[in-house]
A and B are shown apart, each in its own frame.
Chain A
Amino acid sequence: MANLKFQTVKHDSLFTRLDFRTKLVMMAVITLIAFIWESPIAGGLLTLAVAVACVFAGVRLNYLGTILKFMLPFYLFLLISMGFFNVEQVKLLSGQAELTPLLTLPQSWWLVGGAEMTVEGTLYGLNIVFKTLTMILVIPLGIFTTDVNQMTVGMVRANIPYKIVFIFSSTLRFVPLLLEEVQSIIEAQRLRGLDLERMNWLKRGRVYASVAVPLILNALAKSQKLEVVLQSKAFSGSSNRTYLHESVLTPADYIIMASFIALFAGAMVLYVGFGVGKFPWLLDSSLFSYRS
């Protein structure tokens, strides 16, 4: 049942009490702001705020740790590639003709000798790291704090077609089953004498690929059975149906939705009018000032 714990937090908080539509607005606003802001400082603060909210909402720290661990190689690659190669865009964003060198590779190095990593490029990479982290962290904040039933009804009330809502809720229902099946197939392979622990990655890859055969066949058989089951339960995919669960917006929901919309509007005004959240924001005085 570990999968169920993975889907919902046990902890009761403001987030668990909000309607899913409110959380959809919240997720949309945070994602948009994260997407627009180029400043690593503003982006970092936003990521920090969402991470703190996640912890406050009861999302397990080891889950957040797993995300970071999983993303780390990608982020390192991002920082290095941005630091070395993103020159023109960063010049344009910072309004500088020359960028600040952070380190230069020795000339003697083959192929990459003399390449220069810049402070601004690295900071821009950091901004992308924060952007993606915010977008990733906002999902557990919205999804894990919502009961599946509330999510389903909330999505229907938000005028999302019921077929899509059903696919979403069925995924939550059947993905853990599928993962269990993958596990049992790999176990079955090990029991046929395949020493996965001692195989090189190429052989292991080939063995893992063979999992696909029974997995796809089982999934096809299951989906065919599921279709028949759905027929017997008068399922047509039509949104014209009743719902056992109700989705009611409370005053708190309206206030928070309005606050997030206001936050978005405010952020845009500050961004366009005062440069808050633009790449050089707060970096001007400290980092770039000596150049001007």
Chain B
Amino acid sequence: MEAIATLEQVSYLYPGATEPVLKDISLTIQRGEFLGIIGPTGAGKTTLCLALSGIVPQFYGGRFFGRVTVAGMDTLDYPISQLARHVGTVFEDPEVQLIGTSVENEIAFALENLCVPRAEILARIPRVLAAVRLQGFEQKNPQELSGGQKQRLAIAAALALQPDLLILDEPTSQLDPIGSQEVFATVRTLQQELGIAIVIVSHAAEEMAEFADRIALLSQGRLIAVGSPDDIYAQVELLEQHHLRAPEVSAIYHALGQQGITLPAVPVTLAGGLAALPVISTQGNLAPPPAFSSPVIDQQPPILSAQHLTHVYDNGTQALHDVCLDIRPGEYVLVVGQNGAGKSTLVKHFLNLLQPTEGTVKVRDRDTRHLSVSELARSIGYLAQNPDNQIFNTTVEKEVAFALPYLGYPPNVVQQESLKSLKAMQLWSQRQTHPLSLPKGERARVVIAALLAMQPDIIIFDEPTTGQDYQGACSILEVSRQLHQMGKTVIVITHHLYLMPDYAQRVIVMGQGTILLDAPLRQAYHQTELLQSTYLTPPQSVLLAQELSRLSSQDYPLITPQEFAQCFTPELSEEVWA
């Protein structure tokens, strides 16, 4: 196979940095291959992508060692604009990377910069729009597109340059499941039909295992391992060591392996996992389905209540229709659904940021229409998707105490409450640190400490795991667990179902402004058809458990890899795989 890009002993330090962000990396990318790059935050993944497009070091400066070639051109010898003809790049943030005022302008922009004749630009626009299935959108403003459409447009703009190599740096981290699926499907088609080499950085382990030809694992600037998804994702311990998550299928079969049920090769895709199931399930080493206790239904009066809630926006869009919902004190509720399903609109009613068009919303027994936003803020703490928007001060301590004087707390109470909050959120030792110098997961913890100082009964997390790596997501969810253990009512809005089994008790699935399902988590996760109908991806453990139920004719309502692995007894394993 012919190489389209090579890195030879590449090391790089950003200007002013003392530690290299890339350390002695050698890697060859073949023409037409799909290479996935994985690694924890700070591994150097983005820098590696920028090195392939010549932006590192040409734009940033710094100290660069080794050699990078793209389409036979040394990235130090050719200007970025010339390299751009061979390397297309799609970035993480769909808002920032689209600079055109219309879809066709967005595609034309780079071509205009490269002095491509107008007739040629006009010829390429429909071709690339067809490749990403955005025909008919030429005159639309990019801001009117959905997240997935925006990323597809960014891909189309990169494709218009007719690159040999397309680099996508976490293109799905800010998208909902539909958007994410759209992007992966588009990229795979491009690779298969146009033969473009793809380099994609992503935390979406299940998708990477499915689509990539090879995976490169980066950690702390070093290339730790390169291999097929089967090689890399089978090494669950190696991934855990680098704070990465394996696909659930790998986690399950790895756990089985640790129990002595070893396979010749650990399956890493759902199809592989399903195919391996009949072998183990017919050999008689399957334990009977475990009994899971049903959650106790609390009869306390609701702390949050929406009755026949309908909301119509000024432009006539009906965002909520006849929603009835009671949340009781001490519950941990997960709200899931696509963008536009009505999740945020519902939550904004609890905070009185929106008022019902019809129906009522109550916090305890008080109608929110009679409460101000700040009064409600004392009962409900709201962690925004971007915690940085809620940070205004120069130290963690000042941040936590910031709102309290405005609420009329005397200075001694301000001090007392902020101290209590800082200790509860394990921030006491960092109280003099600038909040924005902390990692994102920690910044969320600072905002939660600030909310906690107001002693709310309810905490709402709005998409807390979006844009986070696995470790960051887990650290925020651990905080949510801690708050729940403190007796708070916790509501989490997220698309990442696989992260939640250890935390939430109840799931509310929303779609098209209505509640499609309101059930205990275990029950809700097994409504796979309903979840898939609203483009939510059930965890692989659930899908494997359903297949196991079908094969064994018993009901296995399992939801985590651990539960799944525990259903198999190790004694018979040798016979099974012998």
A residues with CB within 8 A of B: 1, 4, 148-149, 169-170, 172-173, 176-177, 181, 184-185, 187-199, 203, 207, 210-211, 213-214, 217-218, 222, 225-236, 240-246
B374's partner among A148, A195, A246 (CB-CB below 8 A) is: A195
Other A-B pairs beyond A210-B393, A234-B114, 16, CB < 8 Å: A1-B141, A172-B101, A184-B384, A190-B377, A191-B351, A192-B450, A195-B407, A198-B374, A213-B391, A213-B392, A228-B59, A232-B84, A232-B91, A233-B157, A234-B113, A243-B112
Set of chain A residues within 8 Å of B99, measured between Cβ atoms = 170, 173, 226, 229-230, 233
Set of chain B residues within 8 Å of A203, measured between Cβ atoms = 406
Closest to B88 in A: A232
Set of chain A residues within 8 Å of B451, measured between Cβ atoms = 192
Set of chain B residues within 8 Å of A169, measured between Cβ atoms = 101
Set of chain A residues within 8 Å of B109, measured between Cβ atoms = 233, 235
> In whole angstroms, how far apart are the Cα atoms of A87 and B358 in the complex?
62
B114 to chain A, nearest CB (A): 5
- A177→B95 contact, CB < 8 A: yes
> In whole angstroms, how far apart are the Cα atoms of A203 and B84 in the complex?
51
- B91→A225 contact, CB < 8 A: yes
Closest to B384 in A: A188
- A229→B143 contact, CB < 8 A: no
Main DSSP-derived SS at the A contact region: helix
Contact flag A244-B122 (CB < 8 Å), given A149-B105, A172-B101, A222-B96: yes
Count chain B CB atoms within 10 A of each CB in A192, A195, A222, A226 and give the residue with the most: A192
B186 to chain A, nearest CB (A): 19
- A149→B101 contact, CB < 8 A: yes
> In whole angstroms, how far apart are the Cα atoms of A195 and B157 in the complex?
45
Chain B 366-377 near chain A by CB (<8 Å), digits 1 or 0: 000000111101
Chain B 80-97 near chain A by CB (<8 Å), digits 1 or 0: 110011011101010111
B253 to chain A, nearest CB (A): 39
- B101→A228 contact, CB < 8 A: no
- A217→B388 contact, CB < 8 A: yes
Contact flag A193-B378 (CB < 8 Å), given A148-B101, A232-B53: yes
- A231→B115 contact, CB < 8 A: no
Set of chain A residues within 8 Å of B377, measured between Cβ atoms = 190-193
> In whole angstroms, how far apart are the Cα atoms of A149 and B100 in the complex?
9
Residues of B111-128 contacting chain A, CB below 8 A: 111-118, 121-122
In the complex, whether B353 has a CB less than 8 A from a CB of chain A is: yes
A7 to chain B, nearest CB (A): 9
Set of chain B residues within 8 Å of A210, measured between Cβ atoms = 392-393
> In whole angstroms, how far apart are the Cα atoms of A203 and B89 in the complex?
46
Set of chain B residues within 8 Å of A246, measured between Cβ atoms = 118
- B141→A242 contact, CB < 8 A: no
- A234→B108 contact, CB < 8 A: no
Residues of B54-77 contacting chain A, CB below 8 A: 55, 59
- A231→B389 contact, CB < 8 A: no
Set of chain B residues within 8 Å of A195, measured between Cβ atoms = 372-375, 406-407
Q: Count B interface residues, CB 8 Å.
A: 64
A176 to chain B, nearest CB (A): 8
Closest to B117 in A: A242
> In whole angstroms, how far apart are the Cα atoms of A229 and B393 in the complex?
30
Set of chain A residues within 8 Å of B117, measured between Cβ atoms = 242
> In whole angstroms, how far apart are the Cα atoms of A137 and B470 in the complex?
54
Closest to A196 in B: B374
- B392→A240 contact, CB < 8 A: no
Set of chain A residues within 8 Å of B391, measured between Cβ atoms = 213-214
Set of chain A residues within 8 Å of B389, measured between Cβ atoms = 181, 184-185, 188, 214, 218
Set of chain A residues within 8 Å of B121, measured between Cβ atoms = 242, 244
CB pairs A–B below 8 angstroms (20 shown)? A184-B384, A191-B384, A192-B390, A195-B373, A195-B374, A199-B406, A213-B392, A214-B392, A225-B97, A230-B99, A231-B53, A232-B53, A232-B91, A241-B112, A241-B114, A242-B112, A242-B115, A243-B118, A244-B122, A246-B118
Set of chain B residues within 8 Å of A197, measured between Cβ atoms = 372, 374
In the complex, whether B102 has a CB less than 8 A from a CB of chain A is: yes
> In whole angstroms, how far apart are the Cα atoms of A85 and B372 in the complex?
47
In the complex, whether B104 has a CB less than 8 A from a CB of chain A is: yes
- A226→B96 contact, CB < 8 A: yes
Closest to A213 in B: B392
Contact flag A232-B89 (CB < 8 Å), given A4-B141, A149-B102, A242-B111: yes
In the complex, whether B286 has a CB less than 8 A from a CB of chain A is: no
B110's partner among A4, A194, A234 (CB-CB below 8 A) is: A234
> In whole angstroms, how far apart are the Cα atoms of A232 and B454 in the complex?
46
Set of chain B residues within 8 Å of A243, measured between Cβ atoms = 112, 118
